[in-house]
């Protein structure tokens, strides 16, 4: 079987969360054979990690927005993503 995380790194947050929600629903329904359940669970874990990564990046970008003393946005500083 292919690596469940192979294409996950290319997904947008919206697409990854949509697919993750679909996986959760299928697993909660309990109508998926065991072998397939394990495979889609693994993909779900990869999707979860991707969503967390994208959220951390977005949060860091928001943290880098600079404001003046009145709270007005004055610009942004470059984000150093590791």
Is residue 22 assigned to a domain?
A: yes
Is residue 81 assigned to a domain?
A: no
Is residue 14 assigned to a domain?
A: yes
Is residue 2 assigned to a domain?
A: no
* pLDDT tier for residue 1 given thresholds of 50, 70 and 90: very low
Is residue 15 assigned to a domain?
A: yes
Is residue 25 assigned to a domain?
A: yes
Among 38, 36, 8, 6, which Cα is nearest to 20's? Answer: 8
Q: How many domains does the chain have?
A: 1
Sign of torsion over alpha carbons 76, 77, 78, 82: negative
For residue 46, what are the CA distances in angstroms to 49, 58, 64?
5, 19, 27
Instruction: Answer yes or no: pTM beyond 0.85.
Output: no
Per-residue model confidence as pLDDT tens digits over 14-67: 999 999 999 999 999 999 999 999 999 999 999 999 999 999 988 887 777 777
What range does the domain containing 19 cover? 8-76
């Amino acid at each position: 079987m292919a690596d469940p995380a192979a294409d996950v790194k290319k997904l947008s947050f919206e697409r990854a969360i949509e697919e993750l929600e679909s996986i959760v629903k299928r697993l909660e329904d309990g109508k998926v054979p065991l072998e397939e359940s394990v495979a889609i669970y693994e993909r779900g874990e990869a999707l979860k990690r991707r969503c967390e990564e994208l959220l951390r990046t977005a949060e860091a970008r928001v943290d880098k927005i600079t404001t003046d003393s009145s709270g007005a946005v004055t610009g942004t500083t470059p984000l150093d993503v590791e």
